[in-house]
Amino acid sequence: MDEKGTGLKTLIAVDGSEHSRKAVILTSRFSKKTGVEITLLNVLEDVIRYKEVPDTWVYHQREKQALKTLEELKKIAEENGAKSVQTKIAVGPVAEEVVRIAEEEGFSYIVVGTRGMSGFKRMLMGSVAEKVVLYSPCPVVIVR
């Protein structure tokens, strides 16, 4: 493999949970062997989609926490061998934003961590991972 990598781009949806941390570690180890480029995406959940983070105190606090989470996970990715790691923040419905960004930016696949809820809980709450799988323009890897 040359130093330019494979040309494949991976989008990892992260929220700071242990499940997203596992997704970052797994994908980073894969990137170490293949040169796959990684983008860590943290979506600030909202029912309305925004092109950029709104200029309010509440959003600045949420953005600050998201940036901290992204930096921590970027460090973990690099420690686990990822060669190219970018970070990104979006605002809107989480699953919709993950799918939209994957499609608009031509990602090769998406990686999502999940708690693996089952039965009644999932029926009531829905699952971001499940929605991403249903609407994704590319393959999705789910990490438990």
CATH of the domain at 78: 3.40.50.620
122 lies in some domain: no
129 domain-assigned: no
Instruction: Please report whether residue 126 resides in a domain.
Output: no
Any domain includes 46: yes
Residue with tokens 């991972």: 129
The pLDDT confidence band at residue 110, using thresholds 50, 70 and 90, is: very high
Q: Is the pTM of this model over 0.85?
A: yes
Q: Residue 93 falls within a domain, yes or no?
A: yes
123 lies in some domain: no
Cβ proximity of 40 and 107 under 8 Å: no
Please report whether residue 127 resides in a domain: no
**Looking at the 3D structure of the chain, how many domains does it have?**
1
Q: What is the pLDDT of residues 60-75, one digit of tens each?
A: 999 999 999 999 999 9
Percent of the chain with pLDDT over 70: 89
Question: What is the Cα–Cα distance from 70 to 63, expressed in whole angstroms?
Answer: 10
Residue 1 forms part of a structural domain: no
38: containing domain:
9-117+134-143
What tens digit of pLDDT does each residue of 8-17 get?
999 999 999 9
Q: Which residue, 53, 142, 38, 49, is CA-closest to 89?
A: 53
